[in-house]
Amino acid sequence: MKLINAAIIIAAIFYAGVTTAQTNDTNLISAARPGFAEPASTVDHGIIQFEGGYELDKFGNDNNHKLGNMLIRFGLRKKFELGIGINSYIFSRNATDKIDGFEDASVNMRFTLSTGSKYFQLLRPAAALLIMTSVPSGAGAFSNEIMQPEAKMALNWVLNDFFNLWSTAGYARRGNKSDRFNEFSTVIGLGYGFSEKTGIYAEFFRVEQETNYDSDSNHLQSGFTYLASNDVQLDIHCGKELEAGQSNYFVAFGIAFRIFVKR
């Protein structure tokens, strides 16, 4: 299965390389939230975009309240952006312990490789490459002692006037100084637009880790988005781990908005 994930990443790079860029509609905001997948586009030049929200996670016996999920995206060049993740302040609670603190911050670079075709063409998706890493800066319980580098390839296909199909394939180097391992992830999602303002989506997300213990996981999530204006998006979404015997889930809501520094 890990070879399949690697093949998806290689194929994504190939398809992005052979596609011919089309004119992309930048009149509407395109956010990196909600969902596990990454957008197959970058923030336009001269735009600063803010994204954040609140999330409640139920993981085992722990209830985690995450406030922030903050990402700031800077459109520095055409088809290139820089992102800074301030991430969340976490309130973690279980039957015996209460722990609070910030997650690690993160930095990323995103490159638009192709804006794709206006109509469905399998070999001409919109495509973007994301390179990122965490920065050890959070509270002890929520921080890794070393950087966690990642690379992701995002693809998006416009199927028709109502449906979009997307996929993100990722690789990350996880762990700590004494125990490093590879992680592969795959996301497949389908979105439906009721109108120009409202839409729903569903995603399947799989994570595989090359470790000495069984840590692979499958997740399903769905959500609703509302375009309050061309520059503001609201969302609400939820998800659940699909493994037998697991009751892990999350619910979240958030907002994304952009400001024009240079038109």
How crowded is residue 96: how many other Cβ atoms within 10 Å of its Cβ?
Answer: 6
**Distances from the Cα of 259 to the Cα of 72, 75, 112, 177, 226, angstroms:** 11, 11, 20, 40, 18
Confidence of residue 137 (pLDDT cuts 50, 70, 90): very high
- Determine contact, residues 48/261, Cβ cutoff 8 Å: yes
Give the separation between CA 242 and CA 171, rounded to whole angstroms.
21
pLDDT tens-digit profile of 233-252? 999 999 999 976 677 999 99
Tell me, what CATH number does 85's domain have? 2.40.160.40
Name the residue with tokens 């997948």: 37
Position 20 pLDDT exceeds 80: no
Q: What is the arithmetic mean of pLDDT over 211-219?
A: 76
pLDDT band of residue 213 (cuts 50, 70, 90) is low
Domain that residue 126 falls in: 2-260
100-126 per-position pLDDT tens digit: 999 999 999 999 999 998 889 999 999
* Tally of structural domains, the chain: 1
Is the model's pLDDT at 4 over the cut of 70?
A: no
